[in-house]
Amino acid sequence: MATETNELLLDADGLYSIYKGLEGANNVVALKGLNLDMKKGEFVAIVGTSGAGKSTLLRTLGGLQKPSAGEIRYFGRDISQMTEEALVPIRRSTIGFIFQEGNLIPELSAYNNVVRTLRYSGVGISEARKRAKELLKKLGMESRMHDLPQRLSGGELQRVAIARAISNNPALILADEPTGNLDAKNTEQVMQLFRDLHKELNIAFLIVTHSQHVASFADRSVELSDGMIIGQHNAGSDIYDLKESRSVIVSKSGNMTLPPEFLSALVAYGYHWDFTLDINANGPRIIGKPSLKTHNNCPVCNVPLKGDKFFCHSCGAKLN
Ligand SMILES: Nc1ncnc2c1ncn2[C@@H]1O[C@H](COP(=O)(O)OP(=O)(O)OP(=O)(O)O)[C@@H](O)[C@H]1O
């Protein structure tokens, strides 16, 4: 059985991700100071409109691209500024990736794709062969395992991709639209497989999806909009109309994320409230009068903002 514990698996703090604009164009700030915690064995969906930053978040959390600012900790260990050399073994031992296209090596059979992944992780050849066979059998691919990817259907390709992703017993699977290319029947089967793996092996899942059905498998859905997490939702929420089910998130480091309707009623993005809190035995109390301020320093590169408080002339971050 999946046992969700209070032990933190993943803990991301203040993540920014900036794509440099082409000549003359503004940079795109795809993640804007985002915070996310995941417990061991949790099943979380990332939902939100197109361009909200979901894939960027997944790739950044997986160490496939560096955040422009912020920290990403796995079991308390910060990976955000590690060299590729230091990252590779952590990625291999902790994380499995599944993408929409499956990303198999086209010249290798299903079986050799899995063997290759295991070999890269340092598993000996005979053990790798044995484990590849067992995994493909478990995923219902025993009779097709010597076929090349081009001879496999979308659903079969995803099974091989899943076999590769779980081959190193990862604590977490990061999946970007894993059923995006599949029909309803194959989507159901792949999601059922995820659920079984989650239960049997206690693997945590973080899945980007546009599908209500896929999100319904998750313990909670995290909603992204314009590079920020704007709410979370319990299992069974309607992801096509999330307004009703948003709840406030308070991260481990004390950052609070408020639903967008609330924020826009309060203030525009780019401002913050400045106040002093006194916490004593009677609970928290605001001292003095809160005041509304713009950032003095760029939250991405920390250089003082000059003139325009919503554009950093130093790193090019657009802050609204
Ligand atoms: N390599 C890149 N270079 C420049 N901008 C990029 C790059 N990748 C993504 N972006 C931009 O970053 C923002 C977030 O993109 P991302 O792909 O993370 O969103 P998404 O929520 O996954 O979208 P979708 O649901 O359509 O796949 C978008 O404005 C996108 O145009």
Band (18; pLDDT cuts 50, 70, 90): very high
Q: 216 pLDDT exceeds 90?
A: no
- Rounded to an integer, what distance in angstroms lies between the CA atom of residue 221 and that of residue 43? 9
**How do strand 69-74 and strand 77-78 relate by DSSP bridges?**
antiparallel
Would you say the CB of residue 55 lies under 6 angstroms from ligand 1? Answer: yes
Q: 42 pLDDT exceeds 90?
A: yes
The pLDDT value recorded for residue 294 is: 72
Q: Which of 181, 177, 225, 219 is nearest to 198 (CA)?
A: 219
Would you say the CB of residue 319 lies under 6 angstroms from ligand 1? Answer: no
Q: Report the chain's mean pLDDT, rounded to a whole number.
A: 83
The pLDDT value recorded for residue 264 is: 54
Is the model more confident about 176 or about 250? 176
Is the model more confident about 239 or about 45? 45
User: Best of 20, 55, 181, 229 to mutate for ligand 1, by most ligand atoms within 8 A of CB?
Assistant: 55
What average pLDDT does range 175-181 have in this prediction? 87
Distance 20 CA to ligand 1 centre (A): 12
Can you say how many angstroms the Cα of residue 86 is from the centroid of all Cα atoms in its chain?
A: 20
The pLDDT value recorded for residue 259 is: 58
Dig out the tokens for 69 from the structure.
């600012």
The pLDDT value recorded for residue 246 is: 66
φ, ψ for residue 313, nearest 5 deg: -75, -15
What average pLDDT does range 11-37 have in this prediction? 87
Q: 178 pLDDT exceeds 80?
A: yes
- Answer yes or no: is the ipTM higher than 0.95: yes
Q: Which helix (H) or strand (E) holds 201?
A: helix 184-201
> What does DSSP assign to residue 311?
B
> What does DSSP assign to residue 58?
H
User: Best of 46, 54, 61, 177 to mutate for ligand 1, by most ligand atoms within 8 A of CB?
Assistant: 54
Would you say the CB of residue 8 lies under 6 angstroms from ligand 1? Answer: no
The pLDDT value recorded for residue 258 is: 59
CATH code assigned to 8-266:
3.40.50.300
The pLDDT value recorded for residue 66 is: 93
Band (257; pLDDT cuts 50, 70, 90): low
The pLDDT value recorded for residue 270 is: 59
- pLDDT, one tens digit per residue, over 92-125 is 889 999 887 767 999 999 999 999 999 988 899 9
Question: Where do the domains of the chain lie?
Answer: 8-266, 267-320
Residue nearest ligand 1's atom 6 by CA: 19
Would you say the CB of residue 227 lies under 6 angstroms from ligand 1? Answer: no
The backbone region for 246, taken as left when phi is positive above 0, alpha when psi lies in -120 to 50, beta otherwise, is beta
The reply to whether the predicted model has a pTM over 0.80 is no
- Rounded to an integer, what distance in angstroms lies between the CA atom of residue 114 and that of residue 214? 25
Band (160; pLDDT cuts 50, 70, 90): very high
- Rounded to an integer, what distance in angstroms lies between the CA atom of residue 60 and that of residue 66? 6
Instruction: Pick the atom of ligand 1 nearest to 52's CA.
Output: 21
